[in-house]
Amino acid sequence: MTAQCPVCDAELDAGRTPWLLRCPRCGLLRSTLSEQIADARSRAAIDEAERAEGLNTLRERNFRTIVAILGKLREQRGRLLDVGCAHGWFLREAASSGWAAVGIEPDPDIARVASLSGAEIRNGTFPASLEPDERFDVITFNDVFEHLADVNAALRACDAALKPGGLLVINLPDARGALYRLASLLAGVGLPRPLERLWQKGFASPHLTYFTAPLLRRLAARHGFRPLYSGRLPSVAWKGLWSRLRYDRRATVAGSALAWAATSALLPALRVLPSDISLEIFEKPS
């Protein structure tokens, strides 16, 4: 059975990396990796305490930026749904700005942590965790959309669950980013580990797709969404970097130290090079 590109419907081609496919027509990257949230071994690969410590500073900074942009786009606050809410960082920021925030999280352990944010948390998947007639003013996917097996089904569900004029917010890894390009070059010369880490290969919820912002806009347009905002967010921060590298329990201390030194040295350049995270905001037409 051939894999089909979710953006342009072309058949995906296999490349030099066995688990990585590329669309010959539009360039979308798609992996053959599979979600293994229920698999104890895959779940055990992540130290969740280290993960939270490593990502907290970066995510909170980025989420403040997103909520501020939402405030400029919509002065009147309403109901907001955060799909794959993880530890609840975005929910806290949104609630502090006046949004009535609801989160969905498939991992039961992480959902319990997120419930400490005070927001309503539903342990399950999107859109199965919604009531048939539920509607929201905003739906957000923060570092989640790239994990979805069927992005077209997700956008159809967003169209159904958004009120007319509602906003769809997606921030996700971008294949045009400097770190992704560097990891791809290293994989080409026989050093695959950085690329595998960016795809979260071997984790319970690996990345299944790597978009670029233009490809994401093209996909959203297929479902009637109108682009409102396009920008970039930082993907790396020095604070928490060591914990971020160490939350993969399979990584050696020596390997983490090498990655920390290399990334720290690159940080000044990464501030001016294309970021590895794109932020796209769309509107459902009234």
Strands 79-83 and 100-105 turn out to be parallel
The pLDDT assigned to 1 comes to 45
Mean pLDDT in each 10-residue stretch from start to end of the chain (286 residues)?
87 90 96 68 74 85 97 95 94 95 93 87 96 96 96 97 98 97 95 94 91 98 98 93 87 90 91 95 95
Find the helix or strand (DSSP H, E) in which 110 lies. helix 108-114
Q: Where are the domains of the chain?
A: 26-283
The closest of 45, 2, 10, 47 to 27, measured between CA atoms, is 10
Which residues have C-beta within 8 Å of that of residue 203, sequence separation ≥ 6?
Answer: 42, 45, 46, 248
- Residue 203 CA to residue 157 CA, distance in Å, equals 26
Given a contact cutoff of 8 angstroms between Cβ atoms, the answer to whether 121 and 115 are in contact is yes
- Residue 278 CA to residue 262 CA, distance in Å, equals 23
What CA–CA distances, in Å, run from 3 to 6, 116, 164?
Answer: 9, 40, 33
- Residue 69 CA to residue 74 CA, distance in Å, equals 9
On the 0-12 / 13-18 / 19+ scale of CB atoms within 10 A, 229 is: middle
pTM (2 decimals)? 0.94
Reported for 245-248, long-range contacts at CB under 8 A and 24+ positions apart, including other chains, are 245/54, 246/47, 246/50, 246/54, 247/46, 247/47, 247/48, 247/50, 247/51, 247/54, 248/45, 248/46, 248/47, 248/197, 248/203
Give the CATH class of 26-283: alpha beta
